[in-house]
Structure 1
């Protein structure tokens, strides 16, 4: 469970949902660190693009090079506004005659609207496959050995196999299957289930930010550390490209995604101070069995690794560290 700041009754009162350390010291965390566990990520929004111009269309909309993908490969990409700020992020998989997109549930409507608005007159159409397809995530070092055939190790590479698509991820392998078959697939895989909390802890430890929690619609990709994973600087034009390229080649971002080692957990959204100056806000917060209380945060560039920041409400110390968190 990500610790969050929330309204109790619409009055503005906030509270901290403290996550019990005992849960993340349990067998499920050990599974994803030492072996393999299965997390259900079926809540993600899922779209399939069809049509002869689907790849060409998407190429002009997102930050990564979709047209360069061979069938059986994929990438991570972002959809920007004209000012270069992130509207949505997504995983892109290229099949023989289709393109698969999955995104945060809240961002699906943004992606759908983009296709419908800017795809007019093009041979591209979208299908909402959120309800008809499930995503079962195998997490841990033994993820690949749990399958009868594994995809290439490169992230986003995939193969079609007995239970659906097997997609390589940074933390294991995703199995994309029909929702109607999901229970049978779980049974056939024979992998112990793990909670969302265990999966989220791995994500935070690895320094992967989540749109809507760690960064939002006021963020340029480089600020959130997305350039290496999500941006191609050799592809053709796309919406927001000028800002992204100018910052990359001629400027430097005002903010950076950093890790925080906390003296105690704080709610997501808590403001951080360096001296008397507010320099950022806390994103995802977890209590890691390995690292203790940790967080991701967008902080101003003057707050660098080794600096000690302070949260005032509640009063907590936060030491800035590079990502990912060192073991």
Structure 2
């Protein structure tokens, strides 16, 4: 959406900044809103997101050749996630995809929509596909529960944290114990002109709430957990966004080489922050192990149950039991880490022992 959301006119609305500019950070009671969102009784305005549509009979087979995911046989209403990578395997685009039988809908960060549409347009060649940046015409609304009244809307259901077909988990916890299971997630596509009418008097939560739940679910977000060097292995994105057995695509060589023979140089970690300061460090704050810089905080939030929490990307070599320090300017925050990506992730060929359990059957 290119203009601020009309829902910013709701009482108490405070506009978010950065990637979420144009929608509400909160409506006056962030923790109450977060509880309601977690309980499935509130929805969150995500109309700062971008929407790219791909139509035409070749759309799915064509997207399949370009991306990390197997989407040729994607059924109407079925949701998935795909990555478009550089030749070096670095993440360039991360798209939520759902097909309605005639259109493949790609939900992306707002800043990604125009570049993604431009990239796809350059790659269409003689294939029967049409690409459009439809961000101005569509809004996105998030929820932790299916909304019965919105059954006619196109909805993307986050596959996270389930390991998709052809995927692989780099987490040290079993899938049935993954904290992401506590955050089922739906993103509904609503005609922008009908956003207020569709939401009506349903309770609203701001993006501070959805971000806190995302962090607690260990769910990476492009533009937050990524930089120009990020490869999918570092963020455990092989579980939902990569099919390890599909055909050739740009970046596949790096995906296979790191997974089978190497290790990702960095790993995503969940941080439980010391809450005694009653403040939060900023995203971008340095992560220290002793006096040594080992990474960067990527996302921070106040969780309604756990208190201050964060995601960070740190060096693979950091010991999993090491107590870390987040340094925001001169303000230190003690941080206990929970493993998201195992320190020995990768190198699955001949794997016998280690944090990981081995390949998914």
2:291 corresponds, among 276, 280, 284, to 276
1:75 corresponds, among 70, 80, 97, to 80
Equivalence map 1:137-286=2 (5 Å): 137-139=142-144, 143-144=145-146, 146-148=147-149, 161=152, 164-169=153-158, 171-187=184-200, 190-264=201-275, 265-286=280-301
Q: Cα offset for 1:71?
A: 1.9
Conservation of the 8 A alpha-carbon contact between 1:24 and 1:287: no
* 1:87-106 CA distance string (max 9 Å, x none): 11010112212211110111
For the residue of structure 1 that corresponds to 2:293, the secondary structure is strand
Aligned equivalents of 1:252 and 1:272: distance in 2?
21
Q: Tell me whether 1:87 sits opposite 2:92 in the alignment.
A: yes
* 1:61-80 CA distance string (max 9 Å, x none): 11111113122212111111
For the residue of structure 1 that corresponds to 2:95, the secondary structure is strand
Equivalence map 1:313-324=2 (5 Å): 313=329, 314-323=331-340
For the residue of structure 2 that corresponds to 1:60, the secondary structure is helix
Aligned equivalents of 1:148 and 1:60: distance in 2?
36
Q: Cα offset for 1:113?
A: 2.3
Q: Which runs of 5+ in 1 are unaligned?
A: 6-18, 151-160
* 1:217-263 CA distance string (max 9 Å, x none): 21000011111011001111111000011111111111111101112
For the residue of structure 1 that corresponds to 2:305, the secondary structure is coil
Equivalence map 1:1-150=2 (5 Å): 23-25=29-31, 27-139=32-144, 143-144=145-146, 146-148=147-149
For the residue of structure 1 that corresponds to 2:204, the secondary structure is coil
1:311 corresponds, among 311, 322, 326, to 326
Mark the CA change 1:167 to 1:220 in structure 2 (over 3 Å): closer, same or farther.
closer
For the residue of structure 1 that corresponds to 2:66, the secondary structure is coil
Conservation of the 8 A alpha-carbon contact between 1:204 and 1:286: yes
RMSD: 2.4
For the residue of structure 2 that corresponds to 1:181, the secondary structure is helix
Conservation of the 8 A alpha-carbon contact between 2:68 and 2:242: yes
Conservation of the 8 A alpha-carbon contact between 2:79 and 2:157: no
Q: Cα offset for 1:323?
A: 4.2
Q: Cα offset for 1:288?
A: 1.4
Q: How many pairs align?
A: 290
In the alignment, what sits opposite 2:316? Answer: 301
TM-score normalised according to structure 2 size: 0.75
Aligned equivalents of 1:273 and 1:31: distance in 2?
35
For the residue of structure 2 that corresponds to 1:227, the secondary structure is helix
Q: Cα offset for 1:210?
A: 1.2
Q: Cα offset for 1:291?
A: 1.1
In the alignment, what sits opposite 2:306? Answer: 291
Aligned equivalents of 1:306 and 1:261: distance in 2?
13
Aligned equivalents of 1:149 and 1:197: distance in 2?
24
